[in-house]
Amino acid sequence: MLVVALVAFTLSNFVGDPISNMVGQEATLEDREALREQLGLNDPVPVQFVRFIGDAARGDFGISYRLQRPVQDLIAERLPATLELVAVSAVFALAFGIPLGIFTALYRNSWVSRFILTISLAGVSLPTFVLGILLIYVFSVTLQWMPSFGRGPTADLGWWSTGLLSFDGWRAIIMPAVTLGLYQLTLILRLVRAEMLEVLRTDYIKFARARGLKNRAINFGHALKNTLIPVITITGLNIGGLIAFSIVTETVFQWPGMGLLFIQAVQFADVPVMSAYLVLASLIFVMVNLIVDILYVVVDPRLRTERRVTQRS
């Protein structure tokens, strides 16, 4: 994380001059110099970096140049939006991806399976912004079933603001979640299918069938559980990526989350927000990977027994 912080900080010195965005066209050179001095932009870079790390450790990322509000407040306000979006899209991807994956694995040769697989190619190849705008065109402009932008009405639960408690909130989250989750869905679908096909060919499945276990027990009790490990890995990594980089979807749908905040910060050269965001993104990746590793131990009993074996010897 320290490396990321260093890189983020160094890069931010090359993304442009925030001063020119902060002052009007009439500001004199003296005014601009004074503001540079005030913001500490004239100090040597190592000094600025150490100051940054010290403040970051306390959770203080300074004040956004663009919005003139403390960065931690901004992040606290925007994080729920992104997390909800990612959560809904992950649930969508898993809830449809896994069953469809199983279906296409079990009924490999049916035309329905082939159809699903072909459509899934679209999920992988369509860029998110094309998909998003397509959905907006169909469902907002033509059918007028769902709003084309924003989160809809939100309710506050403490510092968390949620849009999931109202019907309009759900209407607003569906399209962005589908846009964000479609790629995930396709990935999971194909992964589950490939894994299932492989597992179904293994010896222990053959023996289970020979023993006379019901199909349902075999498919779901044995085969599916074994396919889950790669799915967990992929999903975990993707979720980290989704939280950090839902930028395009958020921009298309004007979803007030972290991604939109970041892209606006880049355009404005709002250095405090950019640095804070990159540090936060690296934190998320680290945590997600940790959770995925822990889940391995939970899901795969072999990992648990191996440890016990080594402990005894």
Query: 156 φ, ψ to 5°?
Result: -100, 125
158 half-sphere exposure, CB direction, 13 A CA radius: 3
With contacts defined by CB under 8 A, name the span among 4-12, 46-54, 161-169, 194-202 that binds other proteins: 161-169
Give me the least distance between CB of 293 and other proteins, in Å please: 33
With contacts defined by CB under 8 A, name the span among 189-197, 265-273, 284-292, 299-307 that binds other proteins: 265-273
Query: With binding defined as CB under 8 A, does residue 113 bind other proteins?
Result: no
User: Pick from 7, 10, 11, 17: which binds other proteins (CB under 8 A)?
Assistant: 17
Give me the least distance between CB of 199 and other proteins, in Å please: 33
Residues 275-304 that bind other proteins (CB under 8 A): none
Residues 77-106 that bind other proteins (CB under 8 A): 77
Query: With binding defined as CB under 8 A, does residue 150 bind other proteins?
Result: yes
User: Pick from 7, 34, 91, 286: which binds other proteins (CB under 8 A)?
Assistant: 34
Give me the least distance between CB of 132 and other proteins, in Å please: 8
Query: With binding defined as CB under 8 A, does residue 70 bind other proteins?
Result: yes
User: Pick from 5, 75, 83, 136: which binds other proteins (CB under 8 A)?
Assistant: 136
Query: With binding defined as CB under 8 A, does residue 63 bind other proteins?
Result: yes
Number of residues that bind other proteins (CB under 8 A): 59
User: Pick from 10, 13, 20, 215: which binds other proteins (CB under 8 A)?
Assistant: 20
Query: With binding defined as CB under 8 A, does residue 188 bind other proteins?
Result: no
Closest listed residue to residue 246, CA positions, set 146, 199, 176:
176
**R_g over Cα of the chain:** 24
The residues near 279 (Cβ < 8 Å, ≥ 6 apart) are: 1, 4, 5, 8, 56
Query: With binding defined as CB under 8 A, does residue 58 bind other proteins?
Result: no
Binding site for other proteins (CB under 8 A): 15-29, 31-32, 34-35, 38-39, 60, 62-63, 65-70, 73, 77, 133, 136-137, 140-141, 144, 147-150, 153, 155, 165-168, 251-254, 256, 260-261, 264, 267-269
